[in-house]
Amino acid sequence: MNLTRLGVKYISDALKDMKENGLVLGRVALVHKRMYRVFTGHGEWLAEMSGRLRFEAESSGDYPAVGDWVYMRPREGEQKGTIVDIVPRFSQFSRKAAGDPTVEQITAANVNTVFLVSALNQDFNMRRMERYLLLAWESGANPVIVLSKADIEGRIEERVRQAESVALGVPIHVISTHEGMGMNELRRYIREGETVALLGSSGVGKSTIINFFLKEDRQAVQAVREGDDKGRHTTTHRELFMLPDGGNVIDTPGMRALELWESEEGFRESFADIEQLAKSCKFSDCRHDQEPGCAVQTAILEGSLDRHRLQSYVKLKKELEYLARKKINGR
């Protein structure tokens, strides 16, 4: 395997002298019950964490995640190793672990671009798109909106306009994997050494996109249910794939619930339109409700801002404030 194709250039400043320490550098492709499949210059290895690394981990975010670069101490005569260190991440997509507001779950690490995939059928949901955008901006990767299943939906222009209203300055691509529509445009993001993570709810076509670029049916695909267009969870784990034409993609399971994690910077990026309007409010502590001189409410009355977007802004802001309080209290 070629470490250049895996994107080693993005961590070159953090590399150790592997020869002197007798370590092997690799990238985590799959995590399963504390066992790791790692791509190295010597092929695929199986690895586990060292006792020291496990002991020093303060949270699940300190464990290796899919996309991480790791150093391993090789086992004599085997394609196996012990992970002794994790190279600092230049990006990571995190969300709150289900059921615990103080635990971070890393979905993908060291990602250059995040494809936020939303089907153009009944799955289309702008409020969910806002949540994905918020976390994508916070991750350090570049978000791209991918509107899939264009071959079965007739309201494409309307959906694109709706996406544009919340994805300010974010590229939007309409695709159909069955017809090949828009796939060449997506391919430009997955150049050699680049990594793209696909995120979205179940049934939006992430695995179908992966299969298209792999040029084989590697990922299982199931049809959506009739009546509500909801997909079934086919992908059950996160996995990094090397594409035959260069570049890497990370497939992720569909998320029923997208819980926010630390997202202050991402929040400002996602709601830059409202944040900018708020600077013109008469009062610096304006809640954008019924205060006089509220520039945000004026924009709503004039039709330049959707009321539902403000409601989403207020809801997500409260959610982040609640999460911050829980983390300070440690519960």
- The annotated binding site for GTP is made up of 148-151, 200-208
Take residue 61 and report the two structure tokens written for it. Answer: 């975010």
CA distances from 112 to 92, 125, 182, 191, 297 (A): 10, 25, 20, 10, 37
Burial 184-223 (b: 16+ CB within 10 A, else e): eebbebbeebbbbbbbbbbbbbbbbbbbbbbeeeebebee
**Binding site membership: which residues?**
148-151, 200-208, 281, 286, 288, 294
CA distances from 78 to 196, 200, 242 (A): 31, 38, 23
CA distances from 79 to 38, 46, 266 (A): 10, 7, 40
**Binding site membership for Zn(2+): which residues?**
281, 286, 288, 294
d(CA 298, CA 302): 6
d(CA 7, CA 192): 8
Take residue 1 and report the two structure tokens written for it. Answer: 């395997």
Give ∠ CA 240-246-249 in degrees, rounded to 5: 25
- At residue 313, the 3 state secondary structure works out as helix
CA distances from 249 to 11, 17, 108, 252, 329 (A): 18, 28, 10, 10, 37
Q: Are strands 172-174 and 142-148 parallel, antiparallel or unpaired?
A: parallel
Q: Which amino acid is at 50?
A: S
CB 235, CB 253: distance < 8 Å: yes
Placement of tokens 């370590």 in the chain: 23
d(CA 162, CA 185): 21
